[in-house]
Structure 1
Amino acid sequence: MLPWIKLDEATMPGGGVLKLMQRGTEFSIMSGTTELMNSRLSGSEEQLATLSAARLAARAKPRILIGGLGMGFTLRAALQSFPAGSEIVVAELVPEVVAWARGPLNAIHGTSLDDDRVKLHQGDVATAITSGTPFDAILLDVDNGPDGLSRPANDRLYSAAGLATAKAALTSGGHLAVWSSAPDAKFTKRLRQSGMDVEEIGVRATRSGRGARHTIWFATRPGRLA
């Protein structure tokens, strides 16, 4: 068995450290001892984008916010799933994660960040949400679930106030999607209390439909898609 090698690390604003690890052709991004993502497991993050696109099929030029670049699984799936006229804003707080995408993880990311539809917001996703121009979808994959695991300040994204802010940033019929490594009954309840229509979906970690079962919530702002 090949050993894991640390390629780099990054200190997150507000505390916490991310580590980029490699073992052969496999890569991992970790927060402490917790693995946040692995290059072998992309299925559920891709479905965050593909299931979102299916819900917005009636919208010719959707505006999408992806919270968290990571290894780019959601972004690449979004580029394949959303139409040519889309605008895809990617919010990434940690500059080193963007540097990894153009450096040691370039073979995974490819040219996704250079696509004309992509705009990089290098900063807090909470700031991007309140940028003023509404989104048709907000896709959040910045933690392992609806709590600030990688960064305690992210707790506000999943609070009642944070959900109200996200709802206000959505177009009529638009949706908030949140990825999680596991179900969370309290968060489901909080979502329903936000006044949005909520669907909780179980998805597999791998493209083959095997592996761990992850959770995606879709919370839709009432109204009709334009």
Structure 2
Amino acid sequence: MIASELLGIAAIPGGGELKLMRRVGSNGATDYMIVLGGNELMNSRMRGSEEALAEMTLAKLGDRAPHILIGGYGMGFTLRKALSLLGPDALVTVAELVPEILDWARGPMAALTGDGLDDPRVQIAHGDVGFLISSGQGRYDAILLDVDNGPDGLVRDENNRLYSKTGLAEARAALRPGGVLAIWSAAPDAVFTNRLRRARFQVEEVVVRARENGKGPRHVIWFATRA
């Protein structure tokens, strides 16, 4: 078994810590993992569903110059896919609560990051994506959330608000008419699907594969449209 190397530790505001791990395979391929306790939150080999989060959302908007909010940065797969599809007048706000995530992106994972963080269409918001949503009031064409492994506060308890009745009402208010709230999850959740509908969204639940080649675990993305 190939051992993983610890590259960094980051404290999560409110408690807990994230670890950045690296594993080099026998074929020389390098994988990065961000881990919370015993949960692997993301892996550089599993980017397909994170890219689908951006690609499928933008397809629903049909607009090459929207203002979209991405929370959080992760390994940047969603951001880079969005930038590859958006026009020069688009605006992408990236909310990242843990500063070290961005340090890792510019440091050990710079080869993955490319120039995404320095793209003139990108603005970085250091802090809680929930604050940007609650103060948004019709600001965004789309809100893309991949801050937990599903619609519950895995990374920190405060994130539970994002998926609550109150949080969904705030997200709906932050979207322009026709805007889309897209939420990534490692697994389906029928209770949350119903909660989205009760929050007056038009809801589509899509199953996507974790890997770019259409293989790997099945993940879920909810697309909730403000009609």
Instruction: Structure 1: state its 5+ residue gaps.
Output: none
**Equivalent in the alignment of 2:10:** 10
1:219 is paired with a residue of what secondary structure?
Answer: strand
Equivalents in 2 of 1:84, 1:173: separation in Å?
Answer: 21
> Shift of residue 131 of structure 1?
3.6
| In 2, Cα distance between equivalents of 1:130 and 1:146 | 17
For 2:132 and 2:47, locate their aligned partners in 1 and report how far apart those are by CA, in whole Å.
25
Q: TM-score, normalization: structure 2?
A: 0.95
- State which drifts further: 146-155 or 59-68: 59-68
Residues 133-187 of structure 1 show CA distances to partners (whole Å, capped at 9, x for unaligned) of: 6100000000000000011110000000000000000000001000000000110
Give the distance between the partners of 2:224 and 2:123, measured in 1 at CA.
Answer: 24
Residue 2 of structure 1 and its aligned partner are, at CA, apart by: 2.3
User: 1:158, 1:175 → 2: CA distance?
Assistant: 15
* Counterpart code for 1:76: R
Deviation at 1:16, TM superposition (A): 1.1
Q: Which moved more, 1:124-133 or 1:12-21?
A: 124-133
Task: Report SS of the residue matched to 2:50.
Answer: helix
1:92 equivalent in alignment to 2:100: no
User: Partners in 1 of 2:36 and 2:222 — Cα distance?
Assistant: 23
- Quote the residue 1:62 is aligned against: 66
Helix, strand or coil at the partner of 2:70: strand
Match of 2:220 in 1: 215
CA RMSD of aligned residues (A): 0.9
CA distance in 1, matches of 2:135, 2:195: 24
Question: 1:192 deviation in Å?
Answer: 0.6
Q: 1:171 is paired with a residue of what secondary structure?
A: strand
| Equivalent position amino acid for 2:2 in 1 | L
2:146 maps to 1:141? yes
Task: Kindly indicate whether residue 135 of structure 2 is the aligned counterpart of residue 158 of structure 1.
Answer: no
Deviations 1:107-135 (A, max 9, x none): 11111000000000010001121344610
Distance in 2 of aligned mates of 1:193 and 1:33: 33
Give 1:60 deviation, angstroms.
4.4
Tell me, yes or no, if structure 1 residue 130 matches structure 2 residue 137.
Answer: no
Matched position secondary structure for 1:119: strand
In structure 2, how many angstroms separate the alpha carbons of the residues matched to 1:98 and 1:92? Answer: 8
Residues 17-96 of structure 1: pairs in structure 2 closer than 5 A: 17-24=17-24, 25-57=30-62, 59-96=63-100
The aligned residue for residue 108 of structure 1 is: 112
CA deviation map 1:82-123 (0-9, x unaligned): 222110000000000010011001111111000000000010
CA distance in 2, matches of 1:101, 1:171: 31
Taking structure 1 as the reference length, the TM-score comes to 0.96
Q: Is the 8 A contact 2:64 2:85 kept in 1?
A: no
2:6 aligned counterpart, secondary structure:
strand
Q: Across the two proteins, how many residue pairs are aligned to each other? A: 221
Instruction: Give the C-alpha shift of residue 8 in structure 1.
Output: 0.7
Structure 2 residue ranges without an equivalent (≥5): 25-29
Indicate the residue corresponding to 2:123 in structure 1: 119
Q: Determine the C-alpha separation between the residues in 2 that align with 1:152 and 1:60.
A: 35
Judge conservation of contact 2:148–2:154 (CA < 8 Å) in 1: yes
